[in-house]
Amino acid sequence: MQPQSWDLLRAASTIYEDDSVLALNKPAGLSVTGERHDTDVVDLARQAGDELWPAHRIDKATSGVVLFARVLAAHGGITRQFNPAVTRRPGGRPVGKVYLAVVRCRAAAASASDAADGAGIDCGPGDLPGGGTIDLPLGPGRKGRIRVAAPRESIRFDPGAACWTVPTAEVTVGKAVYPSVTTFETLWQGPGGLRLLAVTPVTGRRHQIRVHLAWIGHAIVGDPLFEREPAGRALLHAWRLSLDASWSDGRRLELAAEPDADFLAAVPGLPGSLLSSPSASEALARLDARTAAAGTGTGGPPATGGSAPGAGRRRRPPGPRRPR
């Protein structure tokens, strides 16, 4: 999607707004910022006379909630909440994130070259538990891609803990390695092996959810990272975001972005009231508990070298650009 009008995008996508911040339900196919060849949200706003500073990012292929500062003074207090070093301090509360992901078990392995980057990992019916924790370190792969920093055959699954890990001795040596943890709970199971998951990236690495799910054999449907010719959009949606309103009275702000029609239409048989049902609330409570437990033990192999992909780096807020 490449909207031509900031006014139309803002009217259709705003889920929260005050004098200091703006939260949008970003459509899939539109970058938050930094797009070199196409329009992005920050550019659209700037062309219409509005200045926005992203508090975080989601991938271009991902839809859902994105929070922007409308005034620069609010930006620092928001972005600090996305820094684990800050939220681990006494009194600190991490930002809460829940994504929706539709996965399908990939029964057959793809070519050896794809398998090396996590695509086409074998799995059988029932291999995905109702909930689980993916504790697999990430690192750089070929052509700038992100991959698990270990051979895929070294991944171990503990059925009792519903957790995927790799032995420390198997972790890649000589390249940057970043501990990365993702938790999930199943919201719905449909025909053809489809599952709708509620997913939380406990750590915030680049492409973390997409890579973790693919490497345990359940790639996100339509994900161009792991499908050569996806039939539709990637079925990953940033559903919920919670954080403290540091720019005002400090209250906890709970934001929710309902999936667009194109997301729902791609999941045949999905009940329309599922996301507001008691069963979804129960799954989210289990996800919160699983995430809290994972957050206290995300040590894994220590990070080595460089800057973490997509996390841990302090970025200067985008300022006015030179005329082109």
Give, for 84, the enclosing helix (H) or strand (E). Answer: helix 84-87
**Residues 61 and 115 reside in one and the same domain:** no
Q: Find out whether 153 and 113 touch, Cβ atoms under 8 Å.
A: no
Assign residue 172 the CATH number of its domain.
3.30.2350
Assign residue 27 the CATH number of its domain.
3.30.70.580
CA 181 to chain centre: 12
Q: Are strands 163-165 and 131-135 parallel, antiparallel or unpaired?
A: parallel
pLDDT at res. 136: 96
- In this structure, what token pair is assigned to residue 321? 């650009």
Query: 52, 82, 112: which is the final residue of a domain?
Result: 82
**Residues 48 and 193 reside in one and the same domain:** no
pLDDT at res. 173: 83
> pTM for the complete prediction?
0.85
**Residues 51 and 159 reside in one and the same domain:** no
**Residues 18 and 76 reside in one and the same domain:** yes
How many domains does the chain fold into? 2
> CA–CA separation, 298 vs 30, rounded Å?
32
- In this structure, what token pair is assigned to residue 202? 């406990």
**Residues 162 and 272 reside in one and the same domain:** yes
Q: Is residue 314 part of a domain?
A: no
Range of the domain at 279: 96-221+266-295
Q: Is residue 202 part of a domain?
A: yes
Q: Is residue 165 part of a domain?
A: yes
Mean pLDDT taken over the chain: 84
Q: Is residue 286 part of a domain?
A: yes
pLDDT at res. 322: 41
Q: Where are the beta strands (DSSP E) in the chain?
A: 14-17, 21-26, 53-54, 63-69, 96-104, 131-135, 138-140, 146-148, 156-158, 163-165, 181-189, 194-201, 236-244, 252-256
**Residues 184 and 284 reside in one and the same domain:** yes
- Average the pLDDT over 184-213 and give the result: 92
pLDDT at res. 2: 57
Q: What is the per-residue pLDDT across 142-170, written as a single tens digit (0 to 9) for each?
A: 878 899 999 999 999 999 999 999 999 99
Q: What is the per-residue pLDDT across 110-147, written as a single tens digit (0 to 9) for each?
A: 333 344 444 444 444 447 899 999 999 999 988 788 99
Q: Are strands 131-135 and 96-104 parallel, antiparallel or unpaired?
A: unpaired
**Residues 58 and 206 reside in one and the same domain:** no
**Residues 167 and 189 reside in one and the same domain:** yes
Query: 55, 82, 109: which is the final residue of a domain?
Result: 82
> CA–CA separation, 224 vs 242, rounded Å?
28
CA distances from 273 to 61, 100, 260 (A): 25, 15, 14
Smallest CA-to-CA distance from 128 within 195, 79, 75 is with: 195
**Residues 123 and 55 reside in one and the same domain:** no
Q: Find out whether 60 and 113 touch, Cβ atoms under 8 Å.
A: no
